[in-house]
């Protein structure tokens, strides 16, 4: 055992190990969050990790005890792209850094070899707190979890969630990223409760250093578990959700009650309004940089900065079960998507700009001077990767005139299953069905037929159609 003060080299070493372990763990699941030049390093090799820890520890050792944690945060920016700093993984790492920072103000007893659980440092010689979560009964977001962490008098080192993960969408993925151990149970009433009670009753057998337990479930059956844990001399926090959405916490030893207010969820506008916002952001960034392809991480950051909610939150509300990238992939008539490989960054372009720019070029139309100034390059492996690019209609394409195009659109509206009660169809849905049927987007056909009108403007000029704008949403129906 080694006992050292906050100013000894054990603190830089501990911070370096924490950062290295986070890098290795995150790289397994999200290599796309890393900057290009280090994305393909093998961070799982022990010798690579040892070299990184030694280098980071040397850098941190040059700082004062008060500045070491801030230095770690600066180092993160040398490894990760902006997308990482929007993720729950970053917030979890921040919490660990805060814990490390607070611990550095008092003498530490650190063993020579530190064990890790789920990529997080576990100080086996110090008493710790543990969280048990019935994920089917109670959902904890990151702010609520941090509230619980601050209530504990001991560091919250272990988090275990119980559920039938097959019925929880992608919640298991989120919790895994936040450092939870996931326990799967079969479907059925109270199955998660039963597993949680069995494991909770034998906490000391599995985790002998645990002295505080957060039991997160609103089920009354957990009363027995609270009693058993208290009889073992543990401090138990009963964590329940109230009818108003707030989280109530009761300390079983003292009877003290805490309340974590309900998190105010940002108001998410209609999907089509958000799509319009995304296109505006993408168009503005293209015009600002002169680059056709904008990385999804950059778009996400700009969107969140401007509208105060993330693309992931937007997708969760309007398209649950899907990922942020699918918001763009599912709209080929509006966006062009490029990703060289599963590990590479995802790039987005506006379709209207992409069809006017030859494959591999990155400047917007008529931006030659801007391109020269920017020294532009194409996204990685653009010509070799899986890129969705519009192909010009062939000579055999059946639609030869504007009237042919109008007739084809009218047939799609007539047969559409996505009609509103008043007969209107979203023009994005019309565009998607048109592309499936003719293998070409409407905007490309308009250009080939030399119809110098935007898609909605063309529809408005069609005698067979009635076109209506409702907010930012365009709809059309047969006359």
CATH of the domain at 249: 3.40.50
Question: If phi over 0 gives left and psi between -120 and 50 gives alpha, with beta otherwise, what is residue 137?
Answer: alpha
Six-digit token string for 428: 């994005």
Domain presence at residue 116: no
Packing angle between helix 68-76 and helix 46-61, nearest 10 degrees? 130
Beta-bridge partners for 181? 160
- Please say whether the dihedral angle defined by the alpha carbons of residues 104, 72, 27 and 136, taken in this order, is positive or negative: positive
Same domain for 257 and 286? no
Query: What is the separation of C-alpha 78 from the centre of its chain, rounded to a whole number of angstroms?
Result: 20
CA angle, 168 then 171 then 173, to 5°: 125
Measured between alpha carbons, how far is 349 from 281 in angstroms, rounded to an integer? 11
Among 332, 362, 387, give the residue marking a domain's end.
387
Residues 134 and 257 in one domain: yes
Token pair 């070299």: residue: 51
Residues 357 and 304 in one domain: yes
Q: For 430, how many CA atoms within 13 A lie in the half-sphere containing its CB?
A: 30
14-58 confidence digits (pLDDT tens): 677 778 877 877 776 677 788 888 887 877 777 787 788 888 878
Are 366 and 318 contained in the same domain? yes
Residue identified by tokens 């296109």 is 279
Residue 63 lies in a domain: yes
The C-alpha angle 134, 139, 141, rounded to 5 degrees, equals 135
Asked if residue 114 is part of any domain, the answer here is no
Q: Which of 237, 264, 291 is the last residue of a domain?
A: 264
Helices 68-76 + 10-29 axis angle, to 10: 20
The whole-angstrom separation of Cα 465 and Cα 462 is 6
284/409 same-domain check: no
Statement to judge: residues 340 and 420 lie in one domain: no
Q: Which residues contact 284 (CB under 8 A, 6 or more apart)?
A: none
259 and 213 belong to one structural domain: yes
pLDDT of residue 96: 64
Query: Would you tell me how many other CB atoms lie within 10 Å of the CB of residue 342?
Result: 8
Q: What pLDDT sits at residue 369?
A: 37
Tell me, yes or no, whether 246 lies in a domain.
Answer: yes
Residue 159 and residue 408: Cα distance in Å, rounded? 57
Distance CA 434, CA 221 (A): 56
Instruction: Find, among 370, 312, 394, 380, the residue nearest to 346 by Cα.
Output: 380
Find the domain containing 309 and state its range: 271-387
Based on the structure, what is the number of domains in the chain? 4
* CA neighbours closer than 13 Å in the CB half-sphere of residue 310: 17
CA separation for the pair 89, 73 (Å, rounded): 14
Evaluate whether residue 396 is within a structural domain: no
The model's pTM is: 0.38
**In this structure, are 14 and 56 located in the same domain?**
yes
Q: Give the CATH number, domain containing residue 418.
A: 3.30.420.610
Q: Are residues 34 and 90 in the same domain?
A: yes
Give the C-alpha distances (Å, rounded to integers) separating 262 from 241, 246, 256.
Answer: 9, 4, 19
**362 shares a domain with 432:** no
Phi, psi angle pair for 243, to nearest 5°? -65, -30
| C-beta atoms surrounding 195 within 10 Å | 19
- Find out whether 410 and 478 touch, Cβ atoms under 8 Å: yes
131 and 258, same structural domain? yes
Q: Would residue 440 be called left, alpha or beta, if left means φ above 0 and alpha means ψ between -120 and 50 degrees?
A: beta
| pLDDT single digits (tens) 233-277 | 899 999 998 887 788 999 988 888 988 876 555 678 888 889 999
Q: What is the pLDDT of residue 212?
A: 93
Angle at 346 between CA 341 and CA 347, to 5 degrees: 125
Q: Quick check: is 118 in a domain?
A: no
**414 in any annotated domain:** yes
Domain boundary among 333, 355, 387: 387
Q: How far apart are CA 414 and CA 418, in angstroms?
A: 10
Residues 77 and 142 both lie in one domain: no
- Residue ranges of alpha helices (H) inside 62-190 are 68-76, 88-103, 142-151, 171-177
pLDDT < 70 positions in the chain: 1-14, 28-29, 63-70, 88, 92, 95-125, 188-190, 262-266, 320-321, 341-343, 352-396, 470-473
Residue 395 lies in a domain: no
């Amino acid at each position: 055992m080694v006992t050292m003060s906050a100013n000894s080299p054990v603190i830089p070493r501990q911070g370096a190990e924490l950062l290295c372990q986070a890098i290795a763990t995150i790289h397994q699941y999200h290599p796309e969050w890393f900057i290009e030049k280090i994305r393909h390093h093998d961070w799982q090799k022990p010798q690579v990790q040892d070299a990184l820890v030694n280098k980071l520890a040397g850098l941190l050792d040059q700082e004062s005890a008060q500045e070491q944690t801030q230095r770690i945060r600066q180092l993160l920016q040398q490894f990760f792209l902006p997308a990482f700093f929007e993720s729950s993984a970053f917030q979890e790492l921040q919490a660990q850094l805060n814990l490390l920072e607070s611990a550095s103000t008092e003498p530490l007893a650190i063993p020579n070899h530190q064990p890790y659980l789920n990529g997080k440092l576990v100080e086996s010689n110090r008493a710790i707190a543990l969280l048990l979560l019935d994920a089917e009964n109670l959902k904890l977001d990151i702010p609520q979890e941090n509230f619980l962490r601050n209530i504990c008098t001991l560091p919250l080192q272990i988090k275990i969630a119980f559920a039938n993960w097959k019925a929880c969408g992608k919640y298991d993925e989120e919790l895994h990223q936040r450092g939870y151990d996931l326990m799967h149970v079969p479907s059925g009433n109270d199955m998660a409760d039963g597993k949680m009670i069995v494991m909770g009753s034998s906490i000391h057998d599995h985790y002998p250093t645990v002295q505080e337990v957060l039991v997160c479930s609103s089920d009354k059956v957990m009363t027995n578990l609270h009693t058993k844990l208290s009889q073992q001399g543990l401090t138990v926090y009963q964590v329940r959700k109230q009818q108003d959405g707030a989280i109530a916490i009761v300390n079983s030893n003292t009877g003290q009650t805490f309340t974590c207010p309900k998190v105010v969820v940002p108001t998410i506008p209609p999907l089509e309004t958000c799509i319009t916002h995304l296109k505006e952001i993408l168009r503005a960034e293209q015009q600002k940089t002169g680059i056709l392809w904008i990385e999804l991480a950059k778009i996400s950051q700009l969107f969140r900065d401007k509208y105060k909610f993330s693309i992931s939150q937007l997708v969760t509300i309007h398209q649950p079960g899907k990922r942020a990238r699918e918001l763009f992939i599912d709209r080929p008539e509006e966006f062009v998507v490029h990703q060289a490989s599963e590990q590479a960054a995802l790039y987005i372009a506006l379709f209207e700009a992409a069809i006017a720019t030859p494959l591999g070029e990155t400047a917007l139309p008529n931006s030659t001077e801007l391109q020269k100034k920017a020294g532009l390059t194409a996204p990685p492996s653009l010509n070799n990767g899986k890129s969705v690019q519009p192909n010009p209609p062939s000579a055999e394409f059946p639609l030869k005139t504007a009237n042919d195009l109008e007739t084809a659109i009218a047939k799609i509206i007539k047969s559409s299953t996505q009609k509103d009660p008043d007969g209107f169809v979203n023009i994005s849905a019309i565009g998607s069905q048109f592309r499936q049927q003719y293998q070409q987007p409407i905007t490309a056909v308009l250009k080939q037929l030399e119809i110098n009108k935007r898609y909605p403007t063309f529809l408005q000029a069609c005698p067979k159609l009635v076109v209506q704008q409702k907010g930012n949403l365009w709809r059309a129906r047969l006359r």
